[in-house]
Structure 1
Amino acid sequence: MTTTLLVFTDLDGTLLDHYNYDFSAASDALSSLKTLGVPCVLNTSKTYAELLELRQALQHKDPFIIENGAAVYVPATLNLNINDDLLQQGDFLVKAFGPERQQLIELSHAMKSRYDFISYHELTTEQLVEHTGLDPHTAELSLRREFTEPMIWNDSNIALEHFKQELVHEGIKVQKGGRFVHLMGQDCDKAVAMKWLKQVYQDTYHLPVTSIALGDGENDVGMISQADIPVVVRSPVHIPPEIPGRNDVWITDSYGPKGWSEAINQALANEGFI
């Protein structure tokens, strides 16, 4: 093999079913990746605490990226060639792309008198359940953020633009999501984290790396657009997002994990793995 394949995947609505978070339709394809030694990197908005539980269910042993590109977690046992200064957390080496959450909390707190919002750290588990529909256990894990601070924005869109401009000068990015406005470091991005980890694998194995990125939503667009093989997994609740600058995007026929599996099997065949 003269190249190696590296999979980067979103979770909710992509590898996990949009409605019930089931991944059984992707189980065979996941097993194929493990058998062939193809790393499958989870690249998600979820927290470290959420990923620890989910990785057990998936029997996942590869690196993962949390909080929309805020940090990459690499199992220390992989012995990858990493030249950057890394943090140590449990069994993982951590490459952080932004400030710790406490700095974001302090910055937002200083602006509370001028803008109308509720920060994530101010919410109880019960309030988060009411706002998101998450079950209490998952909501509690979601509250354990490390590098980002979501907010419920109750002010105007004009006020949000002013808020964004103020934080740009602090090196902080404000990203509007479905339910929350997210504060994060300027360099926190799924695509940036993917690019960094791809380079680590190339430095380790001294082989060209072909990246495939799979996602279903707007916050996956950057990651998909920067991949060698761009895949949009069809969603049952919204149309496929546009991927700027790419006319070679795969859009799956099936939804969620079934579509994910189809794309993985096609990529393995195209790259000569099967």
Structure 2
Amino acid sequence: MTSKLIVFTDLDGTLLDHFDYSFTAASTTLTSLKTLGIPCIINTSKTYSELLSLRQELRHRDPFIIENGAAIYIPKSADLILSSDMESKGDYWVKAFGPKRKTLVDLALAFAERFDFISYSDLSPEQLAEFTGLDCASASLSLRREFTEPLIWKDSNLALETFKTDMAKHGVKVQKGGRFVHLMGQDCDKAVAMAWLNEKYQEKYDAPTKIIALGDGENDVEMIRHADIPVVVRSPVHIPPEIPKRTDVWITESYGPAGWSEAIDKVLSIEGYV
């Protein structure tokens, strides 16, 4: 093997089942990655607070990217060469790619009369739980955002395009996800965060890396497009997103975590790991 494999993965609808958030179907493959020493980087719209308990369940020890590429959390125990401008937060170093959430909340409020949406910050845990199917405790953790502000978009698609244009004038990007429209800094992107972290692993290994990126939604498109091995995990609720400028995208046969395992097991076999 001339290059080192790194996995970058979405969570909801990909590693986690869309309906019950289970990762049981992926457990064996997750264990294989740990045994082989292959980093599995979570790259999600979820918050730091949400991932604390989930990472314990997954027995996850690698870095993770939160809120659609808004920031990377790197365990201080990780053997990576990091820059001195990173923020220290408990057991982690934090690399942020955008403004703090309050800036985005204030900006959304200024547009509330022109467009029909509900801001995440206006929701109670009970309301969010009803909308997402999460329990109230999980919904409460999801509300603890640091760098992004999701919106429940109730206006038209045409209005959304206008909203995107208006927000861009303020240096804010509007990204459509599976359930929400997300406000974030212009440089916040799953692909940007992936590229930054990949460079750190190349420095660590002093060797080239090969990225497999897996996701199921529109907010995963750029991450998948920039991977060496692009994988769309089939969803039970929507058609696979198109990945522009790629003709080699794998679309899994199975849904969610079963499809996730299907793709990674195939890559491990092709790359000679098993």
Give TM class, smaller chain. Answer: over 0.9
| Counterpart position of 1:247 | 247
1:172 aligns with 2:172: yes
State the one-letter code of the partner of 1:167: M
How many residue pairs are counted as aligned between the two chains?
Answer: 274
Larger displacement relative to structure 2 (80-89 or 153-162): 153-162
Alignment partner of 2:241: what SS?
Answer: coil
Deviations, residues 91-148 of structure 1 (Å, cap 9, x unaligned): 1111111101011112222333444433211211122223333211111011000110
Distance in 2 of aligned mates of 1:203 and 1:139: 38
Q: CA deviation at 1:58?
A: 0.3
| In structure 1, distance between residues paired with 2:254 and 2:114 | 47
Q: Deviations over 1:195-241 (max 9, x none)?
A: 11111101122110000001122221111111001111122222222
Give the letter aligned to residue 187 of structure 1. Answer: D
How much does 1:248 deviate? 1.4
In structure 2, the residue matched to 1:97 is: 97
Task: Specify the alignment match of 2:266 in structure 1.
Answer: 266
- Answering whether residue 62 of structure 2 is matched by residue 49 of structure 1, we say no
Q: 1:182 matched to which residue of 2?
A: 182
AA paired with 2:12? D
Q: Matches of 2:125 and 2:169 in 1, distance apart?
A: 32
Letter in 2 for 1:88: S
**Which residue of the partner structure matches residue 61 of structure 2?**
61
1:218 and 2:218 aligned: yes
- Aligned-pair Cα RMSD in Å: 1.7
User: Quick one: distance in 2 between partners of 1:162 and 1:243?
Assistant: 24
How far does residue 159 in structure 1 lie from its aligned partner after superposition? 4.1
Contact 2:17 2:23 in 1 (8 A): yes
Q: 1:236 to 1:175 in 2, by over 3 A?
A: same
| Cα distance per residue 1:179-198 (max 9 Å; x no partner) | 43221001111111111111
Letter of the 2:152 counterpart: I
Distance in 1 separating the partners of 2:181 and 2:245: 27
Structure 2 distance, partners of 1:23, 1:164, is 34
5+ unaligned residues in a row in structure 1: which ranges?
A: none
Question: Deviation digits for residues 14-62 of structure 1, max 9, x if unmatched?
Answer: 1112222211211111111111110000111111111111000000000
Q: Offset of 1:157 from its aligned partner?
A: 4.3
Change in CA separation of 1:254 and 1:181 when aligned onto 2, cut-off 3 Å:
closer
SS of corresponding position for 1:78:
coil
**Partner letter of residue 191 of structure 1?**
A
Offset of residue 155 of structure 1? 4.2
2:50–2:138 Cα contact (<8 Å) kept: yes
Aligned CA distance change for structure 1 residues 153 and 266 (closer, same or farther; 3 Å): closer
| Per-residue deviation, 1:79 | 2.6
One-letter code of the match for 2:89?
A: Q
Percent same amino acid at aligned positions?
Answer: 67
Q: What residue in structure 1 maps to residue 129 of structure 2?
A: 129
Alignment partner, residue 229 of structure 2: 229
For 2:193, the equivalent position in structure 1 comes to: 193
